[in-house]
Amino acid sequence: MSLNSALNASVSGLRAQSAAVAAVSENIANASTTAYKTREIAFKSLVTGNQTSAGFSSGGVIFSSYQDLSQQGQIQAFDTSTYVAINGNGFFVVTDDVNNQPSGYTYTRNGSFSTDAQGFLINSEGYYLLGQRTDDLGNVLSGSSRLELS
């Protein structure tokens, strides 16, 4: 194994550990952020079987970062009637512009909604909740794409 090969393996390990520390820091910083999903780092050893004139070349470490979007967060009770939560799979469909086409939609699990001056439900990040108006039995009343409080 050459000196250059050993240094490359060491640097890849340092980069992987740096990513792990960054993920832990991000998780701690966002521990109280509504709907935050923790970031995880997966490590894999990279071992090569390539024999060189100096022996076998070293491998190193590769890593990947991911967030488990299917993980259920903790549901908390609030006195605010416009705060909602999703228990199980699913997302709220929101947009920053109510005239967006379907490609302009964003998905979130942040259900801390309030009403704006026009009566539309808007979350703490400034996104409008999209949906359909229904009657007391759940029947859709109109083709409106924005939810308002009655």
| 76-91: pLDDT as tens digits | 788 888 888 888 888 8
Residues in the chain: 150
Q: What share of the chain is helix, strand, coil (3-state, %, to 5)?
A: 20, 30, 50
CB-based contacts of 68: which residues, under 8 Å, 6+ apart?
37, 38, 40
Nearest to 148 by CA among 115, 108, 106, 110: 115
Low-confidence ranges of the chain (pLDDT < 70): 1, 47-58, 70, 100-103, 142-150
Question: What does the alpha-carbon distance between residue 21 and residue 73 come to, in Å, rounded to a whole number?
Answer: 23
| 100-114: pLDDT as tens digits | 666 678 888 888 899
pLDDT at residue 150, rounded to an integer: 45
Domain layout of the chain by residue ranges: 3-67, 74-150
Q: Indicate whether this model's pTM tops 0.85.
A: no
As a dihedral over the C-alpha atoms of residue 110, residue 114, residue 119, residue 125, rounded to 10 degrees, the angle is -50
